Chain A
């Protein structure tokens, strides 16, 4: 290897320790023979150190740090309805959307009331149940399944392709037909699958998401194996954790019907 080639192609990476083994051998061999290039390597390393040590190290100003903390606080807390309604644009957006998805006035009121209760009780133990129930009621009125997830097979395939649990409950034995599924998000950005079933007498929704950071909500009235049963605000829930995934089943069936169905299916 000639000096010119060493300097042009090897020197920088040699000083950075980023040569692959073959290149490294060739470079080491060259500087073993060549005093000038050995000195150049030392210069290159010295220049690196100069740049690293002598450049002004800017520190984040205190007010920027505070602004970032405040922004993180806001990002964590869900927007209250009050906040949304505060901006006129938001209100018209909400009402336009409500009209377009066909929420009746009554249903919308129920959603808002539940959701407000849920948000104002954010720190109360049952608040997560509040929000699940609110979400279920809202989506029960108008659920838009992914066109790719209208059958058991296609939903399973779609969930599997997204590396989500692909097991789809079947409640056909109890008269519930699959409406469809979709992959959406929880408030913290976590992906979740939502699968809806309907019968004349009610609806069941299955929600699945990753179990990290999750703790079983307090207030379960029954526990069978690893399933926790809840009765809350006119809805029943069965929550279980299977390996890395949480599975929430929620329905407006009366007490213990959902649990009975699930117990039957799992027996």
Chain B
């Protein structure tokens, strides 16, 4: 079933070029939102026709909020938001569709080319429908990859987010011992290169303007990590003795250390589990290099009816 579709190739190339041209030829008419130029472009594209269909314009809807939250947890909010992510996904989808169309129409030619490159005698049967459908399924599952990546990153970050909290509390205690004022503590925390730098940077700016809002902001950011107690203590530090505040913080730190150790044990258990499963990879090597060729040989012998 070798059909001659070669005349369609220039049309597909033209469609691809036009499509890429749409993306890269638009002028950005407003301020840059993100650090990355590509993200800015995607953000601009999210307002034009083909992509705007895929995007929920209501920013308050719970689904959009959940997406934004996922991006933030993954630590990529300086690179993208919901609109950018959805635009990226729809572009990926369109590219996959075009790619699949090309493969579907020119499968025989591609096969002939591969036969030529790898010097394999052509089978002459053409590409079966099953293979074409299989390729389609594999390509379409590529759409799931970006979201999978985000979720994995978010999970990893969630784990590490609680790991460095004892150290932060320790540095707060050390600074309090050195009789530093609260605004200086905030400033130092926002400047030190930790996982929480961005949070404290923002908190410091809020603190200069409105102290209550700053504590609320911190409480929201560290929700459910066990660090809220420390924030509570720091909030009404002025009312009590400094030495007692430090003692409360020190006791709280014990709890944080214990908690992070527990989590670490869980993580290490997972790592050990992974190291046991890692055997699968060399085993695949044994299978492919050793077992499969041997099996092929045996089957071949059986087919040819050679008796042992």
Q: Answer yes or no: do A and B interact.
A: no
**Which residues from chain B sit less than 8 Å from chain A, CB to CB?**
none
**Which residues from chain A sit less than 8 Å from chain B, CB to CB?**
none
